[in-house]
A and B are shown apart, each in its own frame.
Chain A
Amino acid sequence: MRIMGPDEVVFGVDDVEASRTFLVDFGLEEQRQADGSLRFAALDGTAIRIHHREAEGLPAPLPTANSLRQTVWGVEDQAALDAIAEELSQDREVRALPGGGVGCRDDVGFEIAFQVTVRRPLDLPPERINSPGAAPGRGANQIGADETAPALPRTLSHVVYFTPDMERMQRFYIDRLGFVVTDHFTNTGPFLRPQANDDHHVLFLLQTPDYMQGLEHVAFHMQGPSELMLAGTRMINKGYESFWGPGKHKFGSNWFWYFNSPMGVHVEYDADMDKHDERWTAREAPSNAETSQLFLFQSTPKWAPMGGPPPGKES
């Protein structure tokens, strides 16, 4: 099954304007759609789509209050789309969608869809660093710290679900859609990679009680760690609420910075994720602070006392 990764994550929200404000400030490009929904796109065309929760034609909500309505997976070509439709038609209704895709539910009730990918190939520079012993990434007089540099999400990286039945859910993605487990958190869930993407994960599952079913977060790849820091710092300076980060994960090696959002899920910047192929052997570890973060920074606006000691105290 030649799935490349998430093309679009669809939400039904109670506050469209707040979501718009957040996603534009996050660095995504607003694209108003003919059906009244708003698309917020990364540089390669992958996107978050926002509808009002009572909009007509929206996939049914989950049994919980989570605002996720659908995950649209991009596949390599029409043959890949046909193969998925044929496979899933064996035991469920697969609907033809406007625009040529197909939609259905996975085995634990998440609405999913598949389409020939909208991902445009990117041809962009990497983060350039100078490292002693290696050829300079930046030549003489090329400045690395540019406060005015754009910091725009390049592509939708991955989605993470709270699932009430992790075993059933992972079997669906592995057995029916050909996802591969790259690493595994014991008692939490697997990191999954589809066949047409070498990223460490495009999907991660967290086992939770029924009443939490939904999307935990959606992540976008940035150019590199510096751009992630720049984008996240701009969010902090605008008053947005950091949930976790900045830091660097162990499994996947990617840098991370998670923010609360008006959709009631986290939206993550990530950068510099590991790549894998079929020669990789999955690792396993318990899920805790020690195994999930190689290191963690937290921003603080007060980094030093300014203007002398407080009244009545000696310095």
Chain B
Amino acid sequence: MAPSWQHLARLDEVPVGESKGFDPRGEGRDSLFVVRTGEAFVVAYRNACPHVSGARMAWKKDRFMSGDGRHIACFAHGALFRPKDGLCVSGPCQGQYLTAVEVAIRGEELYLRLDNLCHEGVMQSRKELEA
């Protein structure tokens, strides 16, 4: 089966070095977030800190980055994660990883891959779309 994709945002809605939360399933909370790591590079992870099951990570809507912009941070207990692979380099879940979510840039748009995801919420949103 060909992968299916859901449009998330225009790429310029996530400036380079910044992050943005998304709620593709309409749960009323951002279940994943995207970090624009470069002009043509993005990464995305579940908004769930590996330290405390399901803990939401931002301190405010879309604010997932440390003050110096070098790391993804969990503002629950101060864990820092490497943007490129989600490895926790400092804090209570050191050595553990964020759960990656597949996203892609096509032209000036950002898409979320709806199949083959670890994220239960996103899997369900695919089922809803197919229904």
Contact = CB atoms under 8 A, between A and B. Distances in A.
Nearest to A262: B59
A239 B56 CA distance: 13
Interface string B26-65: 1010000000000000000000000000011111111100
Contacts of A18: 59, 63, 67
Interface stretch (B9-17, B72-80, B98-106): B72-80
B67 A265 contact: no
Given A66-B78, A264-B77, A265-B78, A239 B61 contact: yes
| Contact residues on A (Cβ < 8 Å of other chain), bracket | 20 to 34
B76 A67 contact: no
A302 B94 CA distance: 35
A241 B49 CA distance: 13
B58 A264 contact: no
A65 interface: yes
B55 A243 contact: yes
Contacts of B62: 239
A21 B94 CA distance: 29
A221 interface: no
Contacts of A243: 55-56, 76
Contacts of A241: 56-61, 75
Interface in A114-163: none
B75 A302 contact: no
Contact of A266 (B28, B68, B76): B76
B67 A13 contact: yes
A7 interface: no
Contacts of B59: 18, 22, 240-241, 260-262
Contacts of B94: 211
B17 to A, nearest CB: 14
B75 A65 contact: no
Interface in A51-96: 64-67
Contacts of A272: none
Contacts of B92: 208-209, 211-212
Q: Would you call the interface of chain B mostly helix, strand, loop, or mixed? A: loop
B80 A260 contact: no
Interface in A256-315: 260-266, 300-302
A214 interface: yes
B116 interface: no
Interface string A214-238: 1010000000000000000000001
Contacts of A238: 60
**Residue among B28, B58, B63, B80 having the largest count of chain A Cβ atoms under 10 Å:** B63
Contacts of A262: 59-60, 63, 67, 75
A15 interface: yes
A167 interface: no
B63 A214 contact: no
B67 A260 contact: no
A14 interface: yes
B56 A260 contact: yes
B60 A14 contact: no
Q: Which of B26, B62, B66, B92 has the most CB of A within 10 A?
A: B92
Given A14-B67, A15-B67, A212-B92, A265 B58 contact: no
A21 B60 CA distance: 10
B66 to A, nearest CB: 6
Contacts of B57: 241, 260
B75 A260 contact: yes
A208 B60 CA distance: 27
13 contacts: A22-B59, A66-B78, A211-B92, A242-B56, A260-B57, A260-B58, A262-B60, A262-B63, A262-B67, A263-B78, A300-B28, A301-B28, A302-B26
Given A67-B78, A242-B56, 13 more contacts: A65-B78, A209-B92, A211-B92, A212-B91, A239-B61, A241-B56, A241-B57, A241-B61, A241-B75, A243-B55, A261-B75, A262-B67, A264-B74
